[in-house]
Amino acid sequence: MRVGLLTGGGDCPGLNAAIRAVVKHGEGTYGHSIIGFRNGWKGVVDGDVLPLGREHIRNVLPVGGTLLGTARYHPNEENGGIDAVMATLEAERIEALICIGGDGTLHAASKVAEAGVRIVAIPKTIDNDVEGTDLSIGFHTAVNIATEAIDRVHTTAESHNRVMVVEVMGRHAGWIAVNAGIAGGAELVLAPEEPFDIDQVVKFLKHRHRAHANFSIVVVAEGAMPREGGSMDYTTQLGKYGEIVAGAIGERVAAEIAKRTGFDTRVTILGHVQRGGSPTPTDRILGSRFGVAAMDAISSGTTSVMTALRGERIELVPLAEIAGRVKHVPADLLRAAQVLS
């Protein structure tokens, strides 16, 4: 078969491992031709193709990003987008498509599948908020990066008697904030799942500094929000494409803490550093397993599914069950972050 392959949405470490697995398994085991599309769904619409062979995937396992490029473009949201996708797939004689992406890319995949295209999806996002899978490609590396940053911030915070606010990614779900906060020993974690009360934050910090410490670490997810009716008014700051403005909530929380406590307070915004660099072995292995499973599914005629990690097993879940849904941090994990402060 001629199998199309794309990576969409934000980049993350581990994508090249998945691409490598699709190409090696597809060519070596099944004799398929793998046709890559540059820059996600935009490349499908534009017909921007890159036939992939073994020469393209040598030495890519330790490399972050994606050799295919990526873009935040969803054909189901553009006039004529689905029709353009169908035209390109027909012109390139693509018999099936493997889509690697987060919630937006996979939602678009479900719409293209409804139009009659044979699709298998692979979940990737550092936010880990794709429903149906325990882990998505990129999350493990991002948590490692955030945890190391918190570890480093600890020493300078203690040396200068400061409150350090560390902002991490996580628009709709606080997976990075909660996991890195626990692993890095943060005093407070503010996640989108539970709106925070700035008065309680200030009360806690004052008590901590008065009782037994002269510094604190506060981890804030970019999508964290103060509770309605509280003493902090805030509207999420969005960019021109609807993305959250990096640093907006972190800077505001730090300003409120400084004003209300008088403590020397600084902000560290990790931003896109969480997406970069070499993937951890966990993400390389996960990407590889997902790539193999996706190619097996395509080759067996199974479509409109997503590869998912469930416990120790790779399973296939229907796209219709997960498209457009967000996987939030469970209450017990949020509670662990709270009680360990």
| pLDDT tops 80 at residue 271 | yes
Count of CB atoms situated within 10 Å of the CB of 79:
8
Q: Which tens digit of pLDDT belongs to each residue from 56-82?
A: 999 999 999 999 999 888 888 888 899
Res. 240: pLDDT tops 90? no
Cα atoms in the Cβ-side hemisphere of radius 13 Å centred on 70? 23
Write down the mean pLDDT value for the chain. Answer: 94
Among this protein's residues, is 197 annotated catalytic? no
pLDDT over 80 at 18, yes or no: yes
β-strands 163-168, 2-7: how paired?
Answer: unpaired
Region 278-307 average pLDDT: 97
Which of 146, 201, 138 lies closest to 168, judged by CA?
146
Burial pattern 291-312, b for ≥16 Cβ within 10 A else e, equals bbbbbbbbbeeebbbbbbbeee
Phi-psi region of 31 (alpha: psi -120 to 50; beta: other; left: phi over 0): left
Instruction: Say what the pLDDT of residue 211 is.
Output: 86
What mean pLDDT is predicted for residues 41-58?
95
> Band of the pLDDT at 245, cuts 50, 70, 90?
confident
* Mean pLDDT (whole number) for 112-141: 96
- Confidence tier at 29 by pLDDT (50, 70, 90): very high
pLDDT score recorded for residue 72: 84
pTM, two decimal places: 0.94
204 vs 76, more confident? 204
Residue 241 pLDDT: 64
Q: Which helix (H) or strand (E) holds 263?
A: none
Q: Of the residues 11, 46, 103, 127, which is catalytic? A: 127
